[in-house]
């Protein structure tokens, strides 16, 4: 079976989920990647990947030409749309209407939470949203059609409660991503000259991810440590503001996937400080499972599925936005390296048993096998209320 994976925007970190799912499907099926480039270039960690078709994103009505290019490039027996967005799921539904090719939809975020409604008095913002291929108006329509997919996969229990479907977490190749004895010496040198302990955030910085809370916790620590933000693209206005607001932190640019294991190993503690926010309410951060697969000690906040995943001593969970609690948790890890190492071992064991490629890839393949068997027999279900 050939599967076409459609990424809504190869310029941002939605490509990460697309590549992850494509890699797992590639264990059992032939896979091709297609997608729209809405930004200036391919998301840095995915620049070495091959795309069968890539369309340059434009605003409506010019995006119709890019959509036509994507439609011509789809050759799969099943289409896998990443996110319920017009540039992925919308394209897939049009292709199904024309050819009958079944569609599997993957959902890893509450997309409407990322696209708040514009005030009715802000005409410029409303017009801009209408012109954007994935603006709120169009995204609202595709989210409402989510249950029209032949099958749905989701990344968290919260998304499953809303959309149904099969949970496919941000699985990790635990044979590749595992504990390393030595971390990235370049990271330690750049961050602290090899001296300070490193408190590290690895991922794409966003306002709801709580980096500012960790920065505020750093002066409260009893142990000497430095905050490192790895994956910070200086072209991003938010990153530039963060660099101004947190001058004592070390910011490292996005990096190739093969640098992730030594990057994680360089950290003394990894932080996943999600804030309580509509955008995080149903989100499972991929970086949490990265840290667990690498056997690193984690301090995270009690948002969505995180308390369950880090339960039974697999990490330290604190209330979101609670700066003193974040500081105490980091101090706990830094103050007892043996206990921190044992915590990391428990985290890795859970990841291998529940979120490794070996466990999740067969579950994902089964979704597509079932859809292929039922091709042409499924009836669209009722749309999800929005």
Averaged pLDDT of the chain: 91
pLDDT digits (tens, 9 = 90+) for 323-371: 999 999 999 999 999 999 999 999 999 999 999 999 999 999 999 999 9
Among 18-27, 123-132, 168-177, 258-267, the minimum mean pLDDT is found in 123-132
At 52-73, the pLDDT tens digits run: 988 888 888 889 999 999 999 9
Please state the rounded mean pLDDT for residues 199-224.
96
On whether the pTM is more than 0.75, the answer is yes
Query: Rounded to whole angstroms, how far apart are CA atoms 34 and 53?
Result: 5
Instruction: Identify the weakest region by mean pLDDT among 45-49, 220-224, 351-355.
Output: 45-49
Query: Do you find a cis peptide bond into 335, omega within 30 degrees of 0?
Result: no
d(CA 271, CA 350): 18
Closest by CA to 340, choosing from 360, 316, 373, 362, is 316
**178, burial (CB in 10 Å: exposed 0-12, middle 13-18, buried 19+):** middle
Domains of the chain: 2-171+357-373 (3.40.50.2000), 185-354 (3.40.50.2000)
Indicate left, alpha or beta for 138 from its phi (over 0: left) and psi (-120 to 50: alpha): alpha
Query: What pLDDT is attached to residue 28?
Result: 87
Residue 40: its pLDDT value, please?
86
Say if residue 239 is exposed, middle or buried (CB neighbours under 10 Å; 0-12, 13-18, 19+).
Answer: buried
């Amino acid at each position: 079976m050939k599967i076409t994976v459609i990424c809504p925007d190869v310029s941002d970190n939605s490509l990460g989920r697309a590549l992850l799912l494509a890699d797992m499907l590639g264990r059992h099926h032939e896979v091709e990647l297609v997608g729209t480039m809405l930004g200036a270039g391919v998301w840095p960690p995915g620049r070495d990947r091959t795309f069968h078709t890539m369309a340059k994103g434009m605003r409506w009505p010019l995006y119709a030409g890019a959509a036509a290019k994507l439609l011509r490039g789809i050759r799969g027996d099943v289409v896998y749309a990443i996110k319920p967005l017009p540039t992925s799921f919308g394209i897939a539904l049009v292709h199904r209407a024309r050819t009958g090719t079944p569609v599997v939809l993957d959902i890893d975020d509450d997309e409407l939470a990322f696209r708040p409604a514009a005030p009715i008095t802000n005409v410029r913002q409303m017009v801009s949203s209408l012109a954007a291929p994935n603006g709120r108006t169009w995204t609202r329509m595709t989210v409402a059609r989510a249950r029209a997919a032949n099958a749905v996969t989701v990344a968290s229990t919260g998304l499953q409660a809303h959309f149904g479907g099969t949970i496919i977490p941000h699985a990790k190749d635990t044979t590749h991503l595992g504990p390393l004895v030595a971390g990235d010496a370049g990271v330690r040198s750049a961050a602290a000259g090899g001296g300070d302990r490193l408190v590290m955030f690895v991922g794409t910085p966003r306002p709801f991810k709580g980096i500012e809370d960790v920065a505020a916790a750093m002066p409260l620590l009893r142990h000497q440590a430095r905050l490192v933000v790895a994956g910070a693209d200086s072209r991003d206005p938010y990153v530039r503001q963060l660099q101004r607001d947190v001058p004592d932190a070390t910011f490292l640019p996005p990096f190739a996937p093969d640098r992730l294991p030594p990057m994680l190993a360089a950290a003394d503690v990894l932080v996943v400080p999600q804030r309580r926010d509509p955008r995080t309410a149903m989100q499972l951060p991929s970086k949490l499972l990265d840290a667990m697969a690498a056997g690193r000690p984690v301090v995270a906040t009690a948002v969505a599925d995180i308390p369950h995943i880090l339960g039974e001593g697999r990490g330290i969970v604190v209330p979101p936005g609670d700066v003193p609690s974040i500081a105490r948790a980091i101090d706990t890890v830094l103050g007892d390296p043996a206990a921190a190492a044992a915590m990391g071992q428990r985290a890795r064991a859970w990841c291998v048993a529940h979120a490794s490629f070996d466990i999740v890839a067969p579950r994902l393949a089964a979704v597509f096998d079932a859809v292929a068997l039922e091709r042409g027999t499924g009836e669209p279900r009722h749309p999800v209320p929005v």
